[in-house]
Amino acid sequence: MLLACAGFIISAKCQNNQNDVKKADSLYNVQNWSGASTVYQQLLTNTQLQLLVNGRLGLCYYHLGNYGKALYHYNQALGCKNSAPVANVIYARMARVYAKQGKSNMSLTLLDSAVTKGYSNSIELDSLDEYKDLHSNGLFKNIVAKAYKNAYPCSTDPQSRLYDFWLGNWIVYNTGSNAIIGYSYNEKQSGECMILESWVSYPNQYSGVAMNFFDPEKGKWEKVWVGSEGGPGVVHHYVAGDVTDNAMRFVYELKDEKGEMQPGRYTIYNLADGKARLVKELSPDKGKTFDVLMDLTYVRTKL
């Protein structure tokens, strides 16, 4: 009977804690900092909630202007055994407190620790009023760059940048001709992990989009093209891409009239004077010889 009663008491206490967390969180989410801090304070006795509660109290007291209490609770949160995954956020919030107090050196030190541990919110660093006086500081600029890199690792990955010569706005001609046959706009997307290629023919009514990306598992580039022609051939997949001799070189396969797979080559040459050349070839004899299917010259232009 006593065990049953004890179990009931523990269960009721857990339920009350859950209700208090919900209440505190609801106040916190609508930025009722005073009301939220009062409820969170009541939850400090729960050892399992120390990280959450101290982190939330730190932000509550920051917005209430009680910077001493804010820093105290952030430090308490850092002392929790399970704080490692969110330590970068706590360091960033502490840095914000010190910046508010005009203690730039301490703020920069904590921000550097934050980005070293994976903090990635470069937009916050650029936009918060607390950091506006640091925007011209060289160390702060480096910190923002590190945060951006943490958010978008492809932006500085050498393999992901091999194909940057393909970026830009292009007017396209059949090689050897002065007649325009289309326009291509190639831009970085997906955190700079992909080059999105958008094509519009002229004067023909045709368009297409391609995703060009480096696959880290394969160690090669791939290109997936979807054109407006519809039907079985609407998707074209070019694989095993690599830049050699100043050209991106893909390969592909295509069925011939007999239904046999024939190898193809798809090459984009990086030429001088803001030009590129795309040559698509297909073999009729299992790779012994290759016929040119397409030979285009791209001339970079401004919008």
Quick: pLDDT tens for 251-269: 999 998 898 999 999 999 9
Q: Crossing angle of helices 33-42/50-63, nearest 10°?
A: 150
The CATH number of domain 19-153 is 3.40.1360.10? no
Q: What is the pTM of this model?
A: 0.80
Q: Taking the domain 159-301, which CATH number applies?
A: 2.40.128.20
Helix (H), strand (E) at residue 51: helix 50-63
Nearby residues of 56 by Cβ (< 8 Å), 6 or more positions away: 24, 28, 36, 40
Is the pLDDT at 238 greater than 50? The verdict is yes
Q: Which pLDDT score, from 0 to 100, does residue 93 have?
A: 98
Amino acid at 96: R
Q: Report the distance separating Cα 302 and Cα 297, nearest Å.
A: 16
Q: Summarize pLDDT for 189-222 with one digit per residue, the tens.
A: 999 999 999 999 999 999 999 999 999 999 999 9
Mean predicted confidence (pLDDT) in 15-21: 79
Average pLDDT over the chain, rounded to an integer: 93
Q: Report the distance separating Cα 61 and Cα 38, nearest Å.
A: 11
- Closest to 60 in 3D by CA, of 84, 88, 24: 24
Is the pLDDT at 288 greater than 50? The verdict is yes
What are the boundaries of each domain within the chain?
19-153, 159-301
Q: Report the distance separating Cα 133 and Cα 66, nearest Å.
A: 22
Phi, psi of 260 (to 5 degrees): -95, 145
Q: What is the DSSP string of 189-238?
A: ETTTTEEEEEEEESSS--EEEEEEEEETTTTEEEEEEEETT-SGGGEEEE
Mean predicted confidence (pLDDT) in 23-36: 97
Q: Tell me, rounded to whole angstroms, the distance of Cα 83 from its chain centroid.
A: 24
What tokens appear for 138 in the block?
Answer: 């060289």
